[in-house]
Amino acid sequence: MKFFIDTADVSEIKELAKSGLLDGVTTNPSLIKKSGRNINEVIKEICDIVPGPVSAEVTATEYDEMLREAEVLKSIAKNVTIKVPLTWDGLKTCKALREEEVLVNVTLCFSANQALLAAKAGASFISPFVGRLDDIGIDGMNLISDICQIYSNYPNLNTEVLVASVRSPQHVAEAAKLGADVVTLPPNVLKQLITHPLTESGLQAFLDDWKKTGQSIT
């Protein structure tokens, strides 16, 4: 499974990139707003840090303007992935960009039928939002299961399932068990993946015993 980080905080990305765990980055207009910076500058800096796909989202809602914004965004760096919403105009934009071999992330997916349409349009990634479904009482992981099953039925569909709106480490483990290709998660959730009370208590016991030996390795 690939790990993408869902943030526009360049300092967070720099820190996490040192771990070797990052395969890509996803951003959206809300994350850009939170950063308080110019989108072109932020995306350029992120692309310089992470060689994998970096999603930059269009804000237009109509086809022609989406394409114009996509032209600007994809000129920032070779690893920019254009992010479009799952609308008719978004799918048309996806198809046009894929014909140019530009990576496209189709976002705001909430149904298996939507995911099938995105794959038919040639999407590089489909982003189902599991956390937002959980918020309204629907098990978001059921959607991931449905999409993975449908895609597996048709080997000619090459769209990767990118699990988004991840809220907890459990979402990550469940997505991995279902065979999702990618998970994009906030920095705090990524850091939670390494935490386990038995790891912490075990390490402390080792350190306490080592101290009693009176030895030093260096």
Question: What residues contact residue 200 under an 8 Å CB cut-off, 6+ apart?
Answer: none
Long-range contacts from 163-169, C-beta under 8 angstroms, 24+ separation: 163/127, 163/128, 163/130, 164/6, 164/26, 164/107, 164/127, 164/128, 164/129, 164/130, 165/129, 165/130, 165/131, 165/132, 165/133, 165/140, 166/6, 166/130, 166/131, 167/130, 167/131, 167/134, 168/192, 169/193
Token pair 């569909």: residue? 157
Q: Phi/psi of residue 40, each to 5°?
A: -60, -40
- Examine the residue annotation and report whether 83 is marked as an active-site residue of this protein: yes
Catalytic residue among 14, 33, 44, 83: 83
Whole-number Å distance between alpha carbons of 110 and 46 = 28
Residue 112 has which token pair? 């298996």
134: exposed, middle or buried (Cβ count in 10 Å: 0-12, 13-18, 19+): middle
Length of the chain: 218
Q: Which residues are catalytic?
A: 83
